[in-house]
């Protein structure tokens, strides 16, 4: 959800055997994708990728599909309407569209929200996804929230197998990830560790 420059969608499309649905609210955004083809892997032309022009929340509400992963990079919630992608109701809709072992991942721009709002976003996310972890991003001052309804096991064997894919390895190495240990350097904390930080924070609802 949220195409942007298409880099995330393009990277996801590199994983073997995946079918990817992208959702973007503004058709005009797609017209810029070719300028970023070096990084988005010319994603709009990839046969395993389908892009829908629609509001991301409406898509999640009405689709009859389920997904192994839902990932989104919305603008900061200070922009009008974007809070609809940070509320408890949206996370619940997304949870309903995940497979039993599915993962929800969301970009949280710490530099564009106040510390209190950041804590509220994380608390709201964790209320819906009981197994939540926080990861550092390759981009400065941004973290990634990763949530699921079941525990997630980080599998070095799976990681090493994926790194034999030349395209995936190239993308990883561009972020400084040459090994499983490098990958784990991005891990910050799990939900139990950040619980005390969230005490007294408000949940975000519609």
> Region 44-70: what's the mean pLDDT?
96
Does pLDDT of 88 surpass 90? yes
Per-residue pLDDT tens digits for 147-182 = 999 998 899 999 999 999 999 999 999 889 999 999
Backbone φ/ψ region at 42: left (φ over 0), alpha (ψ -120 to 50), beta: left
> Which pTM does this prediction carry?
0.92
Which of the four pLDDT bands, split at 50, 70 and 90, describes residue 79? Answer: confident
pLDDT tens-digit readout, 117-157: 999 999 999 999 999 999 998 767 789 999 999 998 899 99
Q: How many CA atoms lie within 13 Å of 183's alpha carbon, on the beta-carbon side? A: 15
Q: Is 71 helix (H, G, I), strand (E, B) or coil?
A: strand
The Cα 165–Cα 12 span in angstroms is: 13
Q: Which residues contact 109 (CB under 8 A, 6 or more apart)?
A: 76, 141, 142
Yes or no: say if 89 and 206 are a contact pair by the CB < 8 Å rule.
yes
């Amino acid at each position: 959800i949220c195409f942007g420059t298409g880099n995330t969608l393009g990277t996801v499309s590199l994983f073997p055997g995946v079918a990817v649905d992208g959702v973007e609210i503004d058709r005009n955004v797609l017209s810029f994708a070719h300028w970023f083809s070096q990084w988005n892997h010319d994603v709009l032309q990839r046969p395993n990728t389908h892009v829908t022009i629609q509001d991301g929340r409406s898509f999640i509400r009405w689709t009859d599909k389920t997904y192994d992963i839902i990932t989104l990079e919305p603008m900061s919630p200070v922009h009008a309407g974007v809070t609809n992608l940070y509320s408890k109701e949206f996370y619940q809709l997304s949870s309903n569209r995940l497979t039993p072992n599915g993962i929800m991942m969301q970009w949280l721009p710490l530099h564009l929200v106040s510390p209190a709002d950041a804590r509220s976003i994380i608390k709201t996310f964790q209320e819906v996804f009981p197994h939540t972890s926080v990861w550092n991003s390759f981009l400065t001052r941004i973290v990634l929230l990763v949530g699921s309804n079941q525990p997630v096991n980080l599998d070095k064997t799976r990681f090493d197998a994926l790194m034999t894919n030349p395209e995936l390895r190239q993308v990883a190495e561009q972020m400084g990830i040459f090994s499983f240990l490098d990958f784990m350097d991005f891990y910050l904390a799990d939900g139990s560790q950040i619980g005390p930080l969230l005490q007294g924070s408000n949940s975000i609802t519609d």
